[in-house]
Copies of this chain bind each other. A is one copy, B any other.
Amino acid sequence: MVERSDPKDRLFRLFALLRLIPREPGRISTPELYDKLKAQGFDMTRRTLQRDLNVKLSAEFPLLSHEEGNTNYWSFSKHAPHWDFPSPDLPVALAFLLAESHLEKLLPQGLLQLLEPYFEQARAQLEIQQHMPPARWAKRVRALPNGKTLLPAKVDSAIWTTVSTALLKGHSLRVTYLSRSKQQPSEMTLHPAGLVARHSQSYLLARVEGYNDVRQFALHRIQQATALEAPAEIPDDFDIDHYLQGSLNNPAPAEMVELVADVSPQIAWLLRETPLSTEQSLEPLEGTDWHRLRAMVPDDKETLWWVFGLGENVRVWEPNVWVKIIKEKIAKLEKLYV
């Protein structure tokens, strides 16, 4: 990303400058900006930089300057429109909006908020580029939620910001956490080691101060978070994939099993268009219009639920454990519904 830019070029310097300024909760001081620009090979006086900020940019862009003592801090207004180029064309903008409606069901609210400027821009592009007044995209495009998905847990956008920054910068973290077992929230210091998004929930992997093992903390149960100065100390041998494999709470997600089952024609059609996995085979069964399905799938509860949900449209043969579980389920269900 080292830009070529003759050090002399003014225009380019302003571009680089704008890119260094963060959005509102964040801010950056003039001297800091100066150093970073210098580091990128731009050569100018401090005075010039000050002038750029004061005169040129804040006149044209929604920049906020916050004076603190002697130094000026700069940030983009929270509602500053998003500028980018190449700007999204129609197909890209539409892709964004479809993505948004899917993500609503997957990402916690706070996270989605952070992406909002992008969706906003996509909407704006569609409005602009469409010369025909009647042909409004809103009237023509729908994304239907997948019925079965649950709504994601709510995560405060500020908490996400603090936590993810601490994780990536390697800082430790002071949090107020409502653990699943306890009723009362408790305060503790965490040393973040990783982040896992799973089932519309996100978990922070971290070591609690005073303990040695890494545990997981649901983001939506963190009620307060403050970044600390102290660097995060995590076990040297920590490896996220290894942890995920071995963690008990997270039933080994990476483990795959071969699913062998007979499926009804409708399900066969469904699976042919949207396969269960990249390696999947469907072969017609003799003497019937059913198909024999083989696919590698994760050996977890969700997949089993999904298969079981198909009910009488699927007859599972492998793995054996599943067959057993299903039979038990049927027996229990019978009792339940008398």
Contact = CB atoms under 8 A, between A and B. Distances in A.
B311 A137 contact: no
A91 B142 CA distance: 29
Contact of A194 (B118, B126, B141): B141
Nearest to A78: B86
A321 interface: no
Task: State the oligomeric state as a number of copies.
Answer: 2
Nearest to A60: B12
A21 B85 contact: yes
A200 B84 CA distance: 28
Interface stretch (A43-51, A182-190, A275-283): A275-283
Interface residues of A, number: 131
A153 B273 contact: yes
Contacts of A199: 144, 146, 274
Nearest to A278: B151
A107 interface: yes
Contacts of A101: 197
A312 B327 contact: no
A42 interface: no
Contacts of A56: 11
Contact of A147 (B114, B143, B241, B302): B302
A151 B272 CA distance: 10
Contact of A140 (B1, B160, B194, B198): B194
B306 A102 contact: no
A176 B245 CA distance: 46
Given A107-B102, A151-B278, A336-B312, A140 B115 contact: no
A9 interface: yes
B23 A143 contact: no
B80 A86 contact: yes
Contacts of A135: 168-170
Contacts of A128: 1
13 contacts: A1-B128, A11-B60, A22-B89, A94-B195, A95-B160, A98-B202, A139-B239, A141-B196, A142-B241, A146-B302, A148-B303, A315-B336, A330-B330
Given A90-B165, A139-B240, A141-B240, 17 more contacts: A11-B11, A19-B85, A82-B84, A90-B164, A91-B114, A91-B164, A102-B197, A103-B103, A143-B196, A144-B199, A144-B244, A144-B253, A148-B305, A151-B275, A151-B278, A180-B269, A323-B337
